[in-house]
Amino acid sequence: MSLRFATAAGLLGWEIIAAGSGIAATGTSEEVQLAQAQAPVQAPVQAPVQPQNIEASISSLHQRLQITPAQEAQFGAVANVMRENARAEATVPQQPPANGTAVDDLRAYIRYSEVELAGLKKMLPALEALYATLSPTQKNAANAAFRQGPGG
């Protein structure tokens, strides 16, 4: 997977869409007209880490966390999940066809999000096992790294 451990940008975009549709459904006639007149909001979709770039992300994470020899096995499990997730996400189109409809767009977003969620679920036990071995300094580095995405 792209190692966006928080898909905040995508979720934020969908929250904006949901909030906007709530206004249109429950607002006054002026609010409805204003909501209808505004340009549609698209949920931002971050580009996944390409499989060829995943090794750089793994290496960067290894350095940021200052993995010790005793932690290599746990880190290796995290790295393997990162590779598997990147391969899985690379097989799913993120964008609908160029002439796709709003329905096509939503379907593409859902398919990609489902693959991404499956990857996050696979990552959790591997990350929990690694995190349990980290020193307080390493945990602080991990917290910062995973808020940004492990490669970044």
* Number of domains the chain contains: 1
* Residue 119 maps to a domain: yes
Q: Is residue 2 part of a domain?
A: no
Cα 59–chain centre separation = 19
Tens digits of per-residue pLDDT, 21-49?
Answer: 333 334 444 443 444 444 444 444 444 45
Give the residue-averaged pLDDT of 59-73: 97
Interatomic CA distance for residues 134 and 150, integer angstroms: 15
- 89 in a structural domain: yes
| Greater model confidence, 15 or 26 | 26
Look at residue 58 and tell me if it is in a domain: yes
Domain carrying residue 41: 8-148
* 1 within a domain of the structure (yes/no): no
pLDDT at 92 (0 to 100) = 87
Cα gap 152→56, rounded to integer Å: 10
Asked if residue 3 is part of any domain, the answer here is no
The predicted model scores a pTM of 0.64
Q: Which of 7-16, 29-38, 106-115 has the lowest mean pLDDT?
A: 7-16
Q: Is 47 domain-assigned?
A: yes
CB atoms within 10 A of CB 63: 10
